[in-house]
A and B are shown apart, each in its own frame.
Chain A
């Protein structure tokens, strides 16, 4: 049996090496594709090796082993099959919420491990029990919080839910849960321990919900990234309880990497994490209706397309609206026409364009847009002033000049694309509705700005036709 344990341990060691190496390769665009494959092999290896564990189960579990193994295989097939099908079939635009959902499942799995450690017959000391409680708390919060984040991004839950004294209620729920968790650890295998454990997990799930419901949809990427780090941490802690170094390493690497990623994302929006979690973003929206209300100009798609056809330079600012309309392919058709007519076309990507950093790059890459046409905010922001036309498609907050000027605006201080400085600005938008931050955008009322109302897909089709009608000269 000793030999078998060595085989399991060594394969876990190799697997955690492959996982970390894979993650490292994923952090460079050149090696990224091979990185996930490397990590995938590591994961497959350690999962298969874990089945060797059936030869060294505890005495109490031996009579149930056949059922347990059948359940395990069934669980792998059901969970993996469903997620694989879902992950393949879902549209690229829905990726952020899928990441949220799969992350929540990981948190749930960590919580399940914690439940078994708290209720099972295995004798452990108080330190592992407290670590289990911590992992269970974080995992459960990640599960329920990620589900709320998924619901918000999927459009099933549109309005942030806020009420007076919410922060106090949230803090109370959290404190009570921590208390119940400590009770559950100390009452392990004693009267009341089971009840405390049950209440603890209910409280932890509730805490995750409470923490997420007041946060607006625009902040969800940061929240998902945070829950990703949470799940990693929970997995690491449960790894300690299960005495499995592979779980400890993989979990903690994700825990710290995810935290750093969250900080970097929050920085892209010029906010701190505590600001995302605890400030009620967009609450000032009720008061923004004041101020000079001019009529926004509107222009037909064909006219806007003609202007761009005869411009010498165009910068395109894509936003979430483009992703929702699935119009990235159509957009590239239009861009190719403009290029054929000798127009210099560039794409400007705000760090949080779309719903996640890099999401828009992925969507444009899907449409076949070459890399060298896509510019980051810092690289292109000074070029707007010398550009003939800025074409904004389904973006709003990331080009809102009040972030630069209006100190009372909730998005004041957020770095924005200087699209308003272009000689002419066209905005393709479905209506005059506000962006995710629910802040009025003065850009739309500027003299050099004209709105092209309609679904991005339909508008771009009309633009393509209009340019085609002009012919290439």
Chain B
């Protein structure tokens, strides 16, 4: 009974999260499509947490090897996703905003 209930709750989480994702992305200007793809790529890097937990609980050599590979790939996803997104978004600092800031510093 408890497992059935947790399964149902999981379905609710999935449904609400799916709507959230839809709402977050809709009505986005096309210039942000690439940075957003990269940004969402970063967000699913949270899988590294799952890989870490799996590795911590590893009790055989096979699990240790696979878990280690999982952590390497997950960490690559997180860090790579962040760096690439950050570099892309750095281009979006609007020029008209940057100019008065420079003036203010002087």
Residue ranges of A at the interface with B (Cβ–Cβ < 8 Å): 12, 15-16, 19-20, 22-24, 26-30, 32-33, 35-37, 39-40, 43, 46-47, 50-51, 53-54, 57-58, 60-61, 63-65, 67-69, 71-72, 74-84, 86-88, 92, 95-96, 98-99, 101-103, 105-106, 108-113, 115-117, 119-122, 125, 127, 224-225, 228, 231-232, 234-236, 238-240, 242-258, 260-261, 264-265, 268, 349, 351, 356-359, 361-362, 365-366, 368, 370-371, 376
Q: A60-B59, A260-B21 are in contact. Are A254 and B79 (CB under 8 A)?
A: no
Decide if B74 touches A105 in the complex (CB within 8 Å).
yes
- Chain B neighbourhood of A37, CB < 8 A: 86
Residue ranges of B at the interface with A (Cβ–Cβ < 8 Å): 3, 6-7, 10, 13-14, 17-22, 24-26, 28-60, 62-64, 66-96
The 8 Å CB contact of A96, one of B19, B34, B50, is B34
- Chain B neighbourhood of A225, CB < 8 A: 37
Main secondary structure of the interface of A (DSSP, over half): helix
Decide if A246 touches B46 in the complex (CB within 8 Å).
yes
Task: For the complex formed, measure the closest distance between the CB of A94 and the CB atoms of chain B, giving whole angstroms.
Answer: 10
- Chain A neighbourhood of B3, CB < 8 A: 125, 127
The 8 Å CB contact of A256, one of B7, B22, B68, B81, is B22
Decide if B76 touches A82 in the complex (CB within 8 Å).
yes
Decide if A36 touches B42 in the complex (CB within 8 Å).
yes
Q: A224-B37, A356-B33 are in contact. Are A43 and B42 (CB under 8 A)?
A: yes
Select from chain A the residue with minimum beta-carbon distance to B49.
A50
- Chain B neighbourhood of A83, CB < 8 A: 75-80, 83
Bound-state Cα–Cα, A455 to B87, Å? 26
Decide if B10 touches A57 in the complex (CB within 8 Å).
no
Task: For the complex formed, measure the closest distance between the CB of B96 and the CB atoms of chain A, giving whole angstroms.
Answer: 8
Q: A29-B29, A102-B77, A121-B59 are in contact. Are A228 and B41 (CB under 8 A)?
A: yes
Select from chain A the residue with minimum beta-carbon distance to B71.
A75
Q: A106-B74, A110-B50, A358-B35 are in contact. Are A72 and B40 (CB under 8 A)?
A: no
Task: For the complex formed, measure the closest distance between the CB of A224 and the CB atoms of chain B, giving whole angstroms.
Answer: 7
The 8 Å CB contact of A235, one of B32, B44, B90, is B44
The 8 Å CB contact of A252, one of B7, B14, B42, B45, is B14
The 8 Å CB contact of B36, one of A98, A119, A261, is A261
The 8 Å CB contact of B32, one of A43, A81, A358, is A358
Offer 11 A-B interface pairs, CB within 8 angstroms, sorted by A. A39-B42, A72-B67, A75-B69, A79-B73, A103-B77, A106-B41, A109-B73, A232-B43, A258-B37, A351-B30, A371-B94
What 10 pairs between A and B have smallest CB-CB spacing?
A: A112-B70, A79-B75, A75-B71, A83-B80, A87-B83, A256-B21, A252-B17, A109-B74, A106-B77, A257-B21
Q: A74-B68, A79-B79 are in contact. Are A232 and B44 (CB under 8 A)?
A: yes
Decide if B24 touches A68 in the complex (CB within 8 Å).
no
Q: A119-B63, A121-B59, A257-B22 are in contact. Are A84 and B44 (CB under 8 A)?
A: no
Decide if B37 touches A65 in the complex (CB within 8 Å).
no
Decide if A87 touches B80 in the complex (CB within 8 Å).
yes
Select from chain B the residue with minimum beta-carbon distance to A26.
B39
Decide if A116 touches B67 in the complex (CB within 8 Å).
yes
